Amino acid sequence: MTEFSLHCGCAAKVGAQYLCEILNQLPGSVNQNLIVGLESFDDAGVYKLDENTALVQTVDFFPPIVDDPYLFGSISACNALSDVFAMGGKPVTCLAIVCFPTKKLSLEILGEILKGGFDKVKEAGAIIVGGHTIEDEQPKYGLAVTGIINPGKVITNAGMKSGDSLVLTKPLGTGIIVTAAKGELAKPEDFAGAINSMTTLNKVASQIMQEAGANAATDITGFGLLGHLFQMAKASRVAVNLWMDHIPILKGALEYANLGLVPEGAYNNRIWVGNNVLFDTEIVTAEKDILFDPQTSGGLLIALPKERADVLLLKLKESGCKSAACIGEVFDGEAGLIKVKRRKNDDRN
Q: Among residue numbers 154 through 193, which ones bind other proteins (CB under 8 A)?
A: 179-180, 182-183, 185
**CB of residue 255 to other proteins, shortest distance in Å:** 9
Q: Which is nearer to other proteins, 115 or 251 (CB)?
A: 251
Residue 158 CB, shortest distance to other proteins, in Å, is 31
Please name the helix (run of DSSP H) or strand (run of DSSP E) that holds residue 301, with its range, or none: strand 300-305
Nearest by Cα to 160 from 335, 295, 343, 345: 335
Contact 112, 77 (CB under 8 A): no
Question: Which one is catalytic: 10, 78, 321, 326?
Answer: 10
CA dihedral 285, 42, 5, 22 (to 10 degrees): -100
Q: What are the C-alpha distances in Å from 156 to residues 39, 41, 43, 74, 87?
A: 12, 10, 8, 26, 6
Instruction: Measure the CA angle with vertex 175, ends 75 and 274; round to 5°.
Output: 130
- Told to check if 150 binds other proteins by CB under 8 A, we report no
Is 137 or 334 the residue whose CB approaches other proteins more closely? 137
Q: In what order do the strands lie in the sheet with 325-331?
A: 216-219, 300-305, 164-168, 325-331, 239-243, 338-341, 277-279
Q: Which of 86, 217, 262, 325 binds other proteins (CB under 8 A)?
A: 262
6 binds other proteins per the rule CB under 8 A? yes
Chain residues 281-300 in contact with other proteins, contact rule CB under 8 A: 285-286
- The answer to the question of residue 273 lying near other proteins (CB under 8 A) is no
Distance CA 307, CA 219 (A): 22
| Minimum CB distance to other proteins smaller for 7 or for 341 | 7
Q: Output 86 or 186, the one with its CB closest to other proteins.
A: 186
Q: Which residues lie across from 145 on neighbouring strands?
A: 58, 94
Nearer to other proteins, 130 or 260 (CB): 260
3-state helix/strand/coil string of 97-145: EEEECCCCCCHHHHHHHHHHHHHHHHHCCCEEEEEEEEECCCCEEEEEE
Query: Does the protein bind other proteins through residue 267 (CB under 8 A)?
Result: yes
How many residues touch other proteins (CB under 8 A)? 20
Q: Which of residues 198-227 bind other proteins (CB under 8 A)?
A: none
Segment 333-336 long-range contacts (CB within 8 Å, at least 24 positions apart): 333/238, 333/239, 334/239, 335/233, 335/234, 335/236, 335/237, 335/238, 335/239, 336/230, 336/233, 336/234, 336/239, 336/276
Candidates 253, 261, 302, 326; binder of other proteins (CB under 8 A) is: 261
Nearer to other proteins, 268 or 295 (CB): 268
Whether 20 sits among the annotated catalytic residues: the reply is no
| 229 forms part of the interface with other proteins (CB under 8 A) | no
Is residue 257 a contact point for other proteins (CB under 8 A)? yes
Residue 14 is a binding residue for other proteins (CB under 8 A): no
Which range in 141-149, 192-200, 251-259, 297-305 contacts other proteins by CB under 8 A?
251-259
Of 41-49, 161-169, 204-212, 264-272, which part binds other proteins (CB under 8 A)?
264-272
Instruction: Considering the complex, state which of residue 7 and residue 170 has its C-beta at the smaller distance from other proteins.
Output: 7
- Total residues belonging to the chain: 349
Per-residue interface string for the shown chain with other proteins, residues 78-97, x marking contact by CB under 8 A: --------------------
Q: Considering the complex, what minimum distance in angstroms separates the CB of residue 261 from other proteins?
A: 5
Nearest-angstrom CA–CA distance, 224 and 108: 33
User: Where on the chain is the footprint of other proteins (CB under 8 A)?
Assistant: 6-7, 179-180, 182-183, 185, 257-264, 266-268, 285-286
* Residues known to be catalytic: 10
